């Protein structure tokens, strides 16, 4: 019997899906090198918009604000989310069920509702809108994502390893530092990376709780779109894409090195 002919439909569907997902990004990168003012008309290749981007101080100020808030929110939410996951996993009570519901709620509440609620809360408390309110708002939803990621990691954790550590003379802190945290590190790192990405990329909630002098990069890009400056946005987006791919590549290399070294 002759070999059966492979069905080309899955390959075609996969190619169309990939084309749909990545073609806009390719077009954006290509037109970031367009010298013309309007992206729909190709003039000639140039680095004009990248050179101009270097002198746009407002963009770099917005990027600095985004990074400061993202780093602060990531560190805080990683600590709070990890401890929350440990408490939910270890203790079984009605209080922990309520705790789990409070942690899970930000994952299903629409961003626009969360932003409006936080805005009303800050105004009612007399808190001045600015970098601090954005930081608190980002922590409020980043904690939920970190908790869920670490909690998923805890589902596969063997508690008998901690008992063995205690039997060998380790106290609670030593067992946590030398046994528990190394086992949970992949989940903690994944949760922190997810929190950093969500904080850096957030627009809706930030739009409601931002104030004068606290413009983040997503807010500034929205302002650029409203005032019609697509070539500069293309150049900025291309740089962000390159940075993202480099960060992912470095993280993959680091994880591969750790697996090779047996860490």
Give the pTM: 0.79
The model's pLDDT over 69-81, given as tens digits with 9 standing for 90+, comes to 999 999 999 999 9
Q: What does the alpha-carbon distance between residue 103 and residue 139 come to, in Å, rounded to a whole number?
A: 12
Contact predicate 214/132, CB 8 Å: no
- Tokens 């060998």 sit on residue: 168
Q: 122 falls in which pLDDT band (50, 70, 90)?
A: very high
Residue 10 has pLDDT above 80, yes or no: yes
- CB burial class (10 A; 0-12, 13-18, 19+) of residue 208? buried
Question: What residues does 34 pair with on adjacent strands?
Answer: 45
Contacts of 231 (CB under 8 A, 6+ apart): 31, 32, 34, 36, 37, 39, 48, 49
**Orientation of helix 131-155 relative to helix 111-124, angle to 10°:** 130
3-state secondary structure of 70: helix
Q: Of the candidates 79, 80, 83, which has an alpha carbon nearest to the alpha carbon of residue 91?
A: 83
CA dihedral sign, ordered 113, 63, 29, 199: negative
The model's pLDDT over 169-214, given as tens digits with 9 standing for 90+, comes to 776 677 777 777 777 787 888 888 888 888 988 899 999 999 888 8
Contact predicate 32/234, CB 8 Å: yes
Q: 256 falls in which pLDDT band (50, 70, 90)?
A: low
CATH 3.30.420.80 at 55-228, yes or no: no
For the chain, give every domain's residue range.
Answer: 55-228
Q: 263 falls in which pLDDT band (50, 70, 90)?
A: very low
Per-residue pLDDT, 77: 94
Question: What residues does 45 pair with on adjacent strands?
Answer: 34
């Amino acid at each position: 019997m002759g070999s059966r002919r492979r069905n080309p439909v899955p390959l075609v569907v996969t190619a169309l899906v990939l084309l749909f997902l990545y073609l806009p990004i390719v077009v954006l990168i290509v037109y970031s090198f367009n010298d013309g003012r309007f992206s729909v008309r190709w003039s000639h290749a140039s680095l004009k918009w990248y050179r101009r981007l270097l002198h746009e101080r407002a963009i770099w100020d917005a990027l600095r604000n985004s990074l400061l808030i993202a780093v602060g929110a990531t560190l805080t939410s990683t600590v709070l989310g990890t401890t929350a996951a440990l408490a939910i996993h270890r203790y079984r009570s009605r209080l922990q069920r309520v705790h789990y519901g409070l942690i899970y709620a930000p994952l299903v509440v629409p961003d626009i509702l969360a932003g409006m609620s936080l805005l009303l809360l800050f105004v009612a408390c007399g808190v001045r809108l600015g970098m601090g309110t954005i930081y608190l708002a980002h922590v409020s939803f980043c904690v939920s994502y970190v908790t869920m990621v670490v909690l998923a990691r805890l589902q596969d954790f063997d508690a008998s390893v901690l008992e063995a550590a205690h039997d060998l003379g380790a106290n609670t802190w030593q067992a946590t530092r030398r046994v528990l945290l190394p086992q949970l590190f992949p989940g903690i790192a994944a949760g922190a990376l997810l929190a950093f990405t969500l904080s850096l990329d957030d627009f809706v909630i930030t739009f409601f709780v931002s104030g004068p002098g606290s413009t983040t990069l997503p807010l500034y890009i929205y302002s650029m779109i409203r005032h019609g400056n697509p070539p500069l946005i293309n150049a900025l987006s291309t740089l962000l894409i390159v940075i993202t791919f480099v960060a992912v590549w470095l993280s993959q290399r680091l994880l591969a090195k750790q697996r090779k070294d047996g860490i």
